[in-house]
A and B are shown apart, each in its own frame.
Chain A
Amino acid sequence: MTALYISFKSIKAKKLSAALSVLLVGFGTTIFTVLMLASTQIENKLSSNAKNIDLVVGAKGSPLQLILSSVYHIDFPTGNIPLKAANELANNPFVKRATPLALGDNYQGIRIVGTDSNFVAMYELKLQKGKFAGQKMEATLGAEVAKGKGLKIGDTFFGAHGLSDSKDPHKDHPYQVVGILAPQGNVCDQLILTSLASVWSSHGDEPHSHSETEEQDITSLLIQYRSPMSVAMFPQMVNQMTNLQSASPAVESTRLFALVGVGVETLQYFALLMMGIAALSVFVNLYNSLKEKKYDLAIMRTLGASKSKLFLIVWFEGVILTFVGAIIGIATGHLALQIIGHYQESEQAKLTGLVFEFGELYLLLASMAIGFLASLIPAWQAYKSNISNILAKN
């Protein structure tokens, strides 16, 4: 009969206090799991969305807002910039590729993005079916959009003014679906792509006969640098020489994380506190039962058990409790994240519980280490107990 079996039976005999310890360890581990999975997933998503974008140029306002609206498609745009000014920047020698964006319409909450072929090249988009929108009022759908809205090639739909509601549809300008993108694993899955001209025509500012570009507006320009040297020169040039503003996705994401990071850190401390309480509960659980069990343990010694065997019997009890708690905690964390993801409104940063991170292994090891430590003192007490004294006090 192994020490492990004896520990296991001993846990089974006092289910209630064992359940409490498992619950506390599990709760702490759950919080850690959710934090770890959510922050890595969000970070991955953000960096994949901003992969090839070195700089965003748009109307003056909050740089964070400019990044959120033009790169992550979350916030409202800062305003419009003249196409003419944008084209001048696009032709600058520092710039390798400039992708214009015209935002402002949606279809049932899905953003319609007016752009050109640079967008396709920049995000390295692939088609699942059909072709990329080129002509006016043609639309290419992101993979999730086609699935979610049940649209297929040849279908038509009406865009509505604004970014989220459908109160103000452009009834006289229907879009026609001409293509569906292969799943990209980034924000493009949640967008409808069309040409700049489509957006302009929906808003009734068709190019007039006189100058083609003079009165056209776009929302922003996504810029890819020609060389790393541009990092130092170009943003400054934009901010000083034009009345536009430039914002770097890398800088703004870092700033955003610094803001959100405080909350994550607080939660981490909370989870740490939970783990501390869990460790204490395992300790108290074992220590208390040691008082009841010291006679049992002394009897085992008279039956031939060595001191180290008693140590293992008590120690394994704590280790089993924390191991089960940690496993349950990690599983619950995944389940919780899957549920959160399911009810999430923002499609752009959807979370999933179906992905495992390597860091979870460390989490498991760390929880178990806490269990090891918490059971060490009771196990040591069992090891050095004086059986003659215990038996004499019968």
Chain B
Amino acid sequence: MIVIENLAQHYANGLEIKFKNWELAAGEQCLLLGNSGSGKTTLMHILSGILAPTQGKVSIKEVDIYALSAKELDKFRGQNIGLVFQRPHLIKSLTIAENLFLAQSLAQLPKDAKRVEEVLNALAIADKGNNYPSQLSEGQLQRVSIARAVLNKPTLLIADEPTASLDDENAQSVLNLLQQQSKIYGATLLVATHDKRVKEAFTNTYLLA
């Protein structure tokens, strides 16, 4: 369960954004909507544990994440939060399999080759394990980045415009994969997007004023 309470962020230019309180059940799938400047990215970063809010509390699995020490938060983030971005952003100097092992290692989890194989299989990119990112298409890379996000069976899966740079076919498959993977692991899925192709697939929305 994810809970935000009294959350507000002050910006350097004096602007302040207040976020309404929100509770998300485990396994819930939700769309995050809002115009640019409405604080969408800010909220996502706060929920991802990479931007401390000036005020308020974020609890994930009953852990007040900004009460953790920096190192504990890093570890918590690695083990409980999966992120998918508009672009795949894999480490170019590492192979696909190494990119996934990296996600295990940085989250301080033991190396689990079976789990990596399982995820690659589920996302139909099992044969690409030993390739470097430059050898894959954009659609394939985005699938790898989903594989990386769900690898550690996160509590919260956050996707920021995951389909914006993909064609219809790939966009549909990425969306399906996100929904399907979050269902399998009972992860709460939160998708921020402007993409009309995505909006229809969700019933729950959180609208930023």
Contact = CB atoms under 8 A, between A and B. Distances in A.
Question: Do these two chains really belong together in a complex?
Answer: yes
Interface of A: 1-2, 6, 9-10, 12-14, 295-296, 299-307, 309, 387-388, 391-392, 394
B92 A304 contact: no
Given A391-B85, A392-B41, A394-B85, A302 B94 contact: no
A75 B175 CA distance: 88
A214 to B, nearest CB: 88
B199 interface: no
A302 B83 CA distance: 7
B110 to A, nearest CB: 12
A305 B103 CA distance: 9
B102 A300 contact: yes
Contacts of A9: 93-94, 98
A10 B91 CA distance: 9
B115 to A, nearest CB: 15
Query: Which 6 residue pairs are nearest across A and B when measured between Cβ atoms?
Result: A304-B78, A13-B93, A1-B105, A388-B51, A304-B107, A304-B106
Given A302-B50, A304-B107, A6 B87 contact: no
Given A388-B51, A392-B41, A309 B91 contact: no
A12 B94 CA distance: 10
11 contacts: A1-B101, A10-B93, A12-B93, A13-B92, A301-B50, A302-B48, A303-B102, A303-B103, A304-B75, A388-B51, A394-B160
Contacts of A309: 106
A321 to B, nearest CB: 15
B79 interface: yes
Contacts of B94: 6, 9
Interface of B: 41, 45, 48, 50-51, 70-71, 74-75, 77-79, 81, 83, 85-87, 89, 91-94, 98, 101-103, 105-108, 111, 148, 160
A302 B79 CA distance: 10
A394 B87 contact: yes
Contacts of A392: 41, 45
B78 A303 contact: yes
B87 A304 contact: no
Among A301, A304, A387: residue with most chain B CB under 10 A:
A304
A236 to B, nearest CB: 74
B93 A299 contact: no
Given A1-B102, A300-B106, A392-B41, A306 B86 contact: no
A311 to B, nearest CB: 13
A299 B87 CA distance: 11
A306 B71 contact: yes
A346 to B, nearest CB: 51
B92 A388 contact: no
Given A305-B106, A306-B74, 5 more contacts: A1-B106, A2-B105, A295-B89, A296-B89, A301-B50
B69 to A, nearest CB: 10
Nearest to A296: B91
Given A300-B106, A303-B148, A307-B70, A388 B45 contact: yes
Contacts of A305: 74, 78, 106
A295 B83 CA distance: 14
